[in-house]
Amino acid sequence: MPLVVYKSSAGSGKTSTLVREYLKLTLDNPWQFRNVLAITFTNKAANEMKERVLNALRLMVAGKTEEEDELKELKNELNISEEELREKAGKLLTAIIHDYDEFAVSTIDSFVHGIIKTFATDIKLPQNFEVVLDKDDIIPEIVQNLYDKVGIDKDVTNILVNFVIANFVEEKGHDPAKQICGVFEKQIEEQGFHYITKLLHLILADFHRIISRLEETFFALKEKIKKAGKEGYELFQEAGVEQAWVYQGKSGIYGYFSKIAALKQSKDVLPNSYVRTTIGEDKWYSGKCPAGQKPAIDSIKDKLVQKYETIQAMAHRYLMYGLLHRKIYDVALIKEIRQLFDDYAADNQKVHISEFNKKISETISGQPVPFIYERLGRKYTHFLIDEFQDTSILQWQNFLPLIEESLAYGRFNMLVGDAKQAIYRFRNGEVELFANLPELYPKAVTPGEKTTEQLLKSQYKEVVLESNYRSDREIVAFNNRFFEAVKQGMSEKIKKVYDHHTQLLPEKEDKSGGFVRIDLLEAEDAADYREKRLQQILANVRQLQDKAYRKKDICILTNQNKYAVEIASFLIANGYAIVSSESLLLKNAPEVRMIIAFLRLLLQQDDHVQLAAFIRNLLLVYPKHGSFHDVYSRSLPLMKKSVEAMLNDLGYGNVKENEMNGMSAYELTEYAMEKFFGSSNNNVFVHYFLDFVLENQHNGDGSLDAFLSHWDKKSDKAFIAMPEGKDAVRIMTIHKAKGLKFESVIVDFIPRNDTITKKEYWTDLDLPELKELKAGMYPVVKELNDVGLGHIYDEEAEKTELDLLNMVYVAFTRPVSALFIVSHRKGKKQNKFTAYIDAFLRSENVSPDAETWELGQLRMLKTKKDDEEANAEELKDMRSSSWKDLVTIARVDDVTWERMSVKKARTYGNLVHKMLSEITYAADVAPVVASYEVSGLLDAAEADKLRIKLEKLVQHNELRAYFTEGVQVRNESELVKKDAAGATFQRPDRVVIAGDELVLLDYKTGAREEEHKRQITGYAALFDALGYRNIKKLLVYINDDVEVVTV
């Protein structure tokens, strides 16, 4: 079997292809599914693929193969009858359901996490380490640990001071903390991993010596160069030669020696074309040179050439050392931060996700493949990898031995990707891994790498997916023509990426339409363009609405968050409901800001800034209190007494400081909600904020100070999860839109001015003066050309160009039926995007004066009946109460359910059980409830009540430990009991293994019954037979209260 590489394009059905290949591998042998590993890029994609596999099997079992083209194609490929297919599908479906944990479709991070857990001892990690996903969770503490050394550790102090000075000189801003955080991010990038390992033997004292020698060498070279320049300049002076007599005067060799004598800038050592002409072509005299003065020039020119050659002999080293010096303090700090990073992981048992691939690379390097399989505990025989264009070099190098082993046994493996959609280079994605296949990237050097490459070449089979199942005909035609025109002006490497961009035009009748419009705006300046852009976007939205497009059918894509905010604000001001990350930020709600300011005042009563923030947001919520000036002036003196006195004056006499003593951050937030907004309120921001506080309480110590610190780090990423059905215009960045489709898209693309994205380049070093410095960094600047390293700059510029073009490709391929593009008319300040538009319009022979270009016709959109707007019922009873009022331990049931019909109680009980089966840890409560609300199984009021009840359950003193991340959980795992009567299946609601204790939880709604005890005791007996001795049995009754009964 070969290594099949599917080269896809937007909307070409790659998920369907993955599902089909998965089923072909597993249908003949149902237990084979345990040996197939499918890797996707996101959890959403993994879940979608699982669901697609299961749904395909259900359709086959039901005999509905003919309803899906993909399944008909699969049946034909397998060359079996409908009955055979139904039988095979039934067996595979049963096998997967009965052994679902072995259904290996996951993200690469999840898979690697499993390996890391297996290798924990080998790589000196604690067995129960916590995974840190967000670098912002650890950067502040590590940076603070670095700061704590200032003034105590002279080496750290010296390096930091010089680092700040160097950044100031380079004009990189005046915020040391931000600069140090930037260095931290370089440390976690994969690009520098192998180079940093070559520096780990050095301590800061070593770096001081290295930096001293680097500076000594650099400044010694500088003085020698200046001396030669001065001597050359003096030759002119002593010979009485005036500047005007020499070829090109100040710009020629006369001015060159003058500048070298001062050498204010390193680049001055580089001769311009006039200087090179003088030396190379012996051209010394200007047109103004008197004939009688030419002998004076002739008398010194040989010596001048010698001085010039002396300077050039030193120029390369001088410039190279200067470039290295610009980054040497970054390198020293990276090494120190690396050590602090490792210390933090050891002390806190926390490992950042960026470490996974690095740790595996270190551990398996040089190990035979069977060792990897042995430690994994299973042997995957087939690998299917999706979104390969976003795979990093380390990820590929870690996977390669497994794929190599599989191919060596003739087993099927599959890679799917689209190099045109590689837009995650900032997350270590390397598109050249995919573009260069079957050759390895980086280039194969060692004998082992060459052998692997030869195996890949021998097994390689490329399949191009040419169809587009997403977009209508005219949109596909536009993208074919657009990218064909644009790629003509690109490098050969970029052209190779876009080799297969052309897609077949859809032939189905329902895909026959499509509309594309480009608007070219003329503007005098940036402010004028901003206004015209926004007005054009608004006009496009209205044009779509005139054709029966609902607001939810419209998505506006831009390439930067700040423009998304700008567009959202503009549309809101024009009366539009919008959905965007920024519009759904919790911190943008005045009610949330009011609570935060209140909590901060509890910690620091004399904080006038927080008092002002509290009052300003209070007045946004309740304008009746009066003007800001009046309320603030009245409140300020009262704050000297207490927060309670100030609030009493504002009419909140029910706030008592003695009631708040000893409360956790969560309890304080609930208290503030009730006192400021009433026990019943319908503000979704406030309730999501409460969920945010609860999630932090599970992961932190629950203190107010710890929560506020967490809020400062996370508030920029805390959003409301808005139901998909809401009728509102979507606004998002292109990165977030990848993999999605929208009925219509408006593209507002404003590229950054950067020619390059990556600012540093790691390299091996072998310098005679700095032998112990085996690796270093160069800044990626044009001056690299001057030291023979111009290819570094050129390669980065090329990659930045590809990043930009791929962003455009992703944006243009999202729509189904309509695409609007807003662009600046070509002018003196043309950017890359307008250059692309101009290249396309020229290929279409469009007049340079054209203001618009259109393709196709914007038709009336057919009304859709299958996705009506999500339930928008106003929430009238979202109660905020203390957990003490809701949770009690083993009280007598108050027979709540007698007021309900038996059918309704049973339905409610089933729903609660289903939701709890999807809750692994406490943090899962909010998203699980939200998913049921979005799906329509719960209305908003029911969802809120259940969310509160379930949060109290996972917060319960007797249950909290069993919903904490780190414990091993199995929800509704099936147990098989075999006896003379045959096999029976039993399914406890929740099994938790915490240390040497096994805990059984069984959920019940309604009254307590003796049967419940017999049932859970039966479960315990089965586990006892399996060898578990320390078994705890808990019945959890979920009625008006949550009651826990130990059996």
Considering the domain architecture, whether residues 325 and 214 belong to the same structural domain is answered as yes
Within a domain: 610: yes
Considering the domain architecture, whether residues 91 and 24 belong to the same structural domain is answered as yes
Among 62, 67, 103, residue whose Cα is nearest residue 85: 62
DSSP 809-861: HHHHTSEEEEEEEEEEPP-TT--HHHHHHHHHHHHTT--TT-SEEEEE--PPP
Question: Does 574 or 253 have the greater pLDDT score?
Answer: 253
Check: CB of residue 112 under 8 Å from CB of residue 357: yes
pLDDT value at residue 73: 85
Within a domain: 868: no
How many distinct structural domains can be found in the chain?
5
Backbone angles phi, psi at 791, to 5 degrees: -60, -30
Among 736, 717, 724, 728, residue whose Cα is nearest residue 586: 717
d(CA 72, CA 66): 6
d(CA 38, CA 111): 10
Within a domain: 162: yes
Considering the domain architecture, whether residues 339 and 276 belong to the same structural domain is answered as yes
pLDDT value at residue 827: 62
pLDDT of 802 strictly over 80: yes
Within a domain: 190: yes
Tokens of 82: 């409908």
CATH number at residue 15: 3.40.50.300
DSSP 469-489: SSS-HHHHHHHHHHHHHHHTT
Domain-terminating residue out of 657, 687, 717: 717
pLDDT value at residue 372: 62
Within a domain: 87: yes
pLDDT of 1021 strictly over 90: no
Considering the domain architecture, whether residues 187 and 281 belong to the same structural domain is answered as yes
Within a domain: 863: no
pLDDT value at residue 174: 61
- Distance set, CA 905 to CA 916, 951, 1004 (Å): 16, 21, 11
- Of the pLDDT bands very low, low, confident and very high (cuts 50, 70, 90), residue 868 is very low
pLDDT of 377 strictly over 60: no
- Of the pLDDT bands very low, low, confident and very high (cuts 50, 70, 90), residue 373 is low
CB atoms closer than 10 angstroms to residue 247: 20
pLDDT value at residue 167: 79
- Distance set, CA 1022 to CA 982, 1000, 1007, 1025 (Å): 15, 12, 26, 5
Q: What is the pLDDT of residues 693-731, one digit of tens each?
A: 988 877 666 789 889 988 988 888 888 766 566 789 999
pLDDT value at residue 978: 58
Question: Does 662 or 21 have the greater pLDDT score?
Answer: 21
pLDDT value at residue 644: 93
Considering the domain architecture, whether residues 450 and 500 belong to the same structural domain is answered as no
Which amino acid belongs to residue 768? Answer: P
Length of the chain equals: 1047
Tell me what the mean pLDDT of segment 392-404 comes to: 91
DSSP-derived 3-state class of residue 744: strand
DSSP 439: S
Q: Which residues are CB-neighbours of 1020 under 8 A, at least 6 positions away?
A: 1000, 1031, 1033
pLDDT value at residue 1025: 78
With a pLDDT cut of 70, the percent of the chain lying above it is 90
pLDDT value at residue 897: 32
Question: Does 840 or 74 have the greater pLDDT score?
Answer: 840
* Separation of CA 63 from chain center: 41
Q: What is the pTM of this model?
A: 0.77
Domain that holds residue 480: 473-582+728-762+786-856
pLDDT value at residue 172: 60
DSSP 385: E
Domain-terminating residue out of 717, 742, 773: 717
pLDDT value at residue 396: 93
Q: Which residues are CB-neighbours of 782 under 8 A, at least 6 positions away?
A: 793
Q: What is the pLDDT of residues 481-501, one digit of tens each?
A: 999 999 999 999 999 999 999
Q: Give the CA-trace dihedral at 346, 347, 353, 354, to 10 degrees.
A: -60
Domain-terminating residue out of 420, 444, 464: 464
Considering the domain architecture, whether residues 606 and 536 belong to the same structural domain is answered as no
Top-ranked range on mean pLDDT: pick from 108-112, 167-171, 863-867: 108-112
d(CA 744, CA 549): 8
pLDDT value at residue 927: 74
CATH number at residue 896: 3.90.320.10
* Separation of CA 516 from chain center: 30
- DSSP E strands, 237-352: 350-352
Beta bridge partners of residue 541, listed in sequence order:
none
Considering the domain architecture, whether residues 578 and 595 belong to the same structural domain is answered as no
Considering the domain architecture, whether residues 25 and 165 belong to the same structural domain is answered as no
pLDDT value at residue 587: 86
Considering the domain architecture, whether residues 630 and 508 belong to the same structural domain is answered as no
* Separation of CA 83 from chain center: 46
pLDDT value at residue 889: 41
- Of the pLDDT bands very low, low, confident and very high (cuts 50, 70, 90), residue 368 is low
DSSP-derived 3-state class of residue 578: strand
Question: Does 758 or 867 have the greater pLDDT score?
Answer: 758
Among 840, 853, 12, 847, residue whose Cα is nearest residue 484: 840
d(CA 385, CA 414): 6
Q: How many CA atoms lie within 13 A of 716 on its CB side?
A: 6
Q: What is the pLDDT of residues 879-933, one digit of tens each?
A: 555 544 544 443 334 333 333 333 345 567 778 888 898 888 888 887 788 777 6
Considering the domain architecture, whether residues 286 and 341 belong to the same structural domain is answered as yes
d(CA 990, CA 916): 9
DSSP 442: S
Considering the domain architecture, whether residues 172 and 309 belong to the same structural domain is answered as yes
Tokens of 956: 């319960």
Considering the domain architecture, whether residues 478 and 542 belong to the same structural domain is answered as yes
d(CA 313, CA 307): 10
- Of the pLDDT bands very low, low, confident and very high (cuts 50, 70, 90), residue 948 is confident
Helices (H), 189-249: 193-197, 204-238
Within a domain: 123: no
Tell me what the mean pLDDT of segment 362-384 comes to: 71
pLDDT value at residue 391: 94
d(CA 321, CA 271): 19
Within a domain: 947: no
pLDDT value at residue 378: 59
